[in-house]
Amino acid sequence: MRSRSTAEVMVGASQFETFVPEKGASWGLYIERLNFHFEAHGIMDDAKKRALLLSVCGPSTYALIRSVISPKLPNELSYEEITVAMKQYFNPAPSEIVERFRFYKRDQRPNESIADFVAELRRLSEHCNFGNGLDTALRDRLVCGISDESLQRRLLADQVATFDVALREALATETARLQALEIRTGSSQDDVKQVCTTTRKQMPNDNRTCSGQRSLKVDKCYRCGGGHDAQVCRFINQSCRYCQKMGHIERVCRKKIRQRKLDQRKTRHCRRKTPDRVQSHALTEQHEALRSRRSPDPYVLNTLTALAKNPIVAKVLVNGKPLTMEVDSGSACSLINERVFYKLKLQNVKQTYCTKILRTWSKQQLNVKGQVEVEVQFNSRKCRLPLLIVDGLGASLLGRDWFEALGISVLGIHQVSGRRFDSVLLRYAAVFDDDTNAYSGPPVSIELEKNATPKFLKCRPVPFAIRSKLNDALENLVKQGILKPVRYSKWATPIVPVLKRNGELRICGDYRSTVNLATKKDSYPLSTVTELLATLAGGVLFSKLDLSQAYQQLKVDEQTAELLTLNTPKGLLQMTRLPF
């Protein structure tokens, strides 16, 4: 009976998962759980612990252990020596400065509760060696990193003495806010004007999730795409092969992803309307990424009014209840008003605090009550998506954050005929040539203040990576007559080369340090957005004029040319046209 009981214990103890470091597993947590496993099965012998560790860790980890402890063999070391050696391999002694930097940089993330935020701060403080000052450091980081600005101001005004007091007040405020969100039933009149703009079509085999909360929920490492925290990613010092920047790999490079999507939009053509597609007029899509915790960018709800007489609607099922929503590709988020919220009986659905700022095209801010996650069904598609509740009695909007998940795509309706395009280029060849033509009117003259004194600043260092491009760009401008080499000048402004998206350089000057300080101020009232939109009333056809090298088409007189002289690695170059 005794031997059978021992055998049963050994069989149970051997049933433990393998260690897979490729999936972001932590060696320290793995050994900690394994020790509890040994304790639960009454295994205290060091040799048995070592044997079980080497048998359950997996073949790849066993080979790694052999490499780490080489030239010794596993049976020559104790269980404790093996685990310590592997801990030093996976988790070398961290830098106290780096750990404190990560601690003090950690802010509360969108939709992150106070409890989760504090738990993460405690985890980050593990290797900071705060000692007796841990509570003070936690208090400071909690107050400075909290996302609720009103609570932050109150904590700063009260001058809370301890971390426990600050945490207790923060938890109480968070609980009160969530409870008030559930019982609040007031409503107000806020107008929301809906428009339709272009959005991205859903591409086949798209591996993006349908939850619609990618920008709000950190569930993937942005450095490699794995399911772990980016701060502990092994690619933190890796250089991307696409953009050459450090901190991520090519597979998740945002610049590469943006370029691929841009190429897809350029090669897109009109397709037939399918049951899951909605057509509308093409306008520019606004970027809605939430970049800052303290002052998040407002989510654009709409742009210019499209030429549609009747709104485009879609009938969906929200938690099994029918709802008619207006398809608004100008809205970054899907939303309903409070009346619809209670009509759909969503009071029992868990609500989360929403940090988004919603504004209409006229910059009017909407009062967001909260956010819920609901089950949405449209045609044959069903998935869980975020839904915002706002004040007012506006229409229910189906925004761009639902388009991908529900299979809704917006198709352009314009196609350029290649033959006609070539004939236009041939007919107006002078317009599209490479020469930079000059404005035929009088030259531009910059007037200085009476007591203005010349300023001569030396050329600033130029990165070696762009020096060849800079030399080519300067030679090209000299050939075009835009720049003229000179040996002497009373004025000299440092050159500022700016890298454009197409890889070319735009030659600019830091005139804020020289000429701008001495010129007479020219006051001109700029039109507001409302005034500009009023001029478009009644318009049917719109065109965008983009002048090549716009400022450099305007000539300047000789006195102004000397004022605009650039100090470059190739010497003094005088501007004969207006610079950037």
Whether the CB-CB separation of 513 and 504 falls below 8 Å is answered with no
Query: From CA 436, how far away is CA 476, in angstroms rounded?
Result: 11
Looking at residue 296, its pLDDT comes to 42
**207 pLDDT tier (thresholds 50, 70, 90):** very low
**475 pLDDT tier (thresholds 50, 70, 90):** very high
Reported as half-sphere exposure (CB side, CA atoms, 13 A), residue 305 has a value of 15
Looking at residue 574, its pLDDT comes to 93
The owner of tokens 């998206």 is 501
| DSSP result, 42-87 | T---HHHHHHHHHHHS-HHHHHHHHHHHTTS-GGGS-HHHHHHHHH
Whether the CB-CB separation of 307 and 413 falls below 8 Å is answered with no
pLDDT digits (tens, 9 = 90+) for 368-395: 888 899 999 998 888 899 999 988 888 8
* Residue 214 clears pLDDT 50, i.e. is over it: no
Which among 3-7, 71-75, 308-312 has the top mean pLDDT?
A: 71-75
* Residue 492 clears pLDDT 90, i.e. is over it: yes
CB-neighbour burial class of residue 238 (10 A; exposed 0-12, middle 13-18, buried 19+): middle
Looking at residue 409, its pLDDT comes to 80
Q: Is the C-alpha dihedral spanning 416, 419, 422, 423 positive or negative?
A: negative
**289 pLDDT tier (thresholds 50, 70, 90):** very low
Looking at residue 4, its pLDDT comes to 45
Looking at residue 9, its pLDDT comes to 52
* Residue 357 clears pLDDT 90, i.e. is over it: no
Looking at residue 363, its pLDDT comes to 74
Looking at residue 485, its pLDDT comes to 94
Q: What percent of the chain has pLDDT over 70?
A: 79
Say how many residues make up the chain. Answer: 580
Whether the CB-CB separation of 188 and 367 falls below 8 Å is answered with yes
* Residue 491 clears pLDDT 90, i.e. is over it: yes
Q: Which residues contact 137 (CB under 8 A, 6 or more apart)?
A: 103, 125, 128, 130
* Residue 191 clears pLDDT 60, i.e. is over it: no
State the SS3 of 376-415.
EEECCEEEEEEEEEECCCCCCEECHHHHHHHCCCCCCCCC
Looking at residue 316, its pLDDT comes to 92
- Token reading at 399: 């925004």
Look up residue 94 and give its DSSP letter. Answer: P
Average pLDDT on 9-16 reads: 62
Q: What is the mean pLDDT of the chain?
A: 78
Q: What percent of the chain has pLDDT over 90?
A: 13
Query: From CA 577, how far away is CA 580, in angstroms rounded?
Result: 10
159-180: buried (b, 16+ CB within 10 Å) or exposed (e) per residue? Answer: ebeebeebbebbeebbeeeeee
Q: Provide the 3-class DSSP secondary structure of residue 498.
A: strand
Q: How far from 503 is each of 96, 180, 470, 499, 570, CA to CA, in Å?
A: 40, 53, 11, 6, 21
Average pLDDT on 193-200 reads: 40
CB-neighbour burial class of residue 549 (10 A; exposed 0-12, middle 13-18, buried 19+): middle
Q: Which residues contact 112 (CB under 8 A, 6 or more apart)?
A: 147
Whether the CB-CB separation of 96 and 128 falls below 8 Å is answered with yes
Give start and end residues of each alpha helix (H) in 70-205.
Answer: 79-90, 96-105, 114-124, 134-145, 149-158, 163-183
* Residue 238 clears pLDDT 60, i.e. is over it: yes
Higher pLDDT, 191 or 100: 100
Looking at residue 322, its pLDDT comes to 92
* Residue 114 clears pLDDT 60, i.e. is over it: yes
pLDDT digits (tens, 9 = 90+) for 504-560: 888 899 999 999 888 888 777 788 888 888 888 888 888 877 666 777 778 889 998
Query: From CA 213, how far away is CA 111, in angstroms rounded?
Result: 10
Looking at residue 325, its pLDDT comes to 92
**276 pLDDT tier (thresholds 50, 70, 90):** very low
Whether the CB-CB separation of 409 and 202 falls below 8 Å is answered with yes
Which range is least confidently modeled, 111-115, 142-146, 175-179, 281-285? 281-285
Looking at residue 273, its pLDDT comes to 39
pLDDT digits (tens, 9 = 90+) for 562-580: 999 999 999 999 998 888 7
pLDDT digits (tens, 9 = 90+) for 122-160: 989 888 988 888 988 998 998 899 888 888 888 888 777
**288 pLDDT tier (thresholds 50, 70, 90):** very low
Average pLDDT on 49-77 reads: 86
Instruction: Report the first-to-last Cα separation within the chain, whole angstroms.
Output: 91
Whether the CB-CB separation of 504 and 468 falls below 8 Å is answered with no
**209 pLDDT tier (thresholds 50, 70, 90):** very low
Looking at residue 291, its pLDDT comes to 37
Pairing verdict, β 381-390 and 368-378: antiparallel
Looking at residue 205, its pLDDT comes to 43
Query: From CA 481, how far away is CA 475, in angstroms rounded?
Result: 10
Q: How far is CA 357 from the centre of its chain?
A: 16
* Residue 457 clears pLDDT 90, i.e. is over it: yes
Average pLDDT on 173-180 reads: 82
* Residue 201 clears pLDDT 50, i.e. is over it: no
Look up residue 133 and give its DSSP letter. Answer: G
Whether the CB-CB separation of 457 and 513 falls below 8 Å is answered with yes
Whether the CB-CB separation of 289 and 215 falls below 8 Å is answered with yes
Whether the CB-CB separation of 358 and 371 falls below 8 Å is answered with no
Looking at residue 376, its pLDDT comes to 92
pLDDT digits (tens, 9 = 90+) for 415-439: 555 567 777 777 877 776 666 667 7
Look up residue 321 and give its DSSP letter. Answer: E
Q: How far is CA 66 from the centre of its chain?
A: 42
**7 pLDDT tier (thresholds 50, 70, 90):** low
**331 pLDDT tier (thresholds 50, 70, 90):** confident
* Residue 2 clears pLDDT 60, i.e. is over it: no
Higher pLDDT, 309 or 69: 69
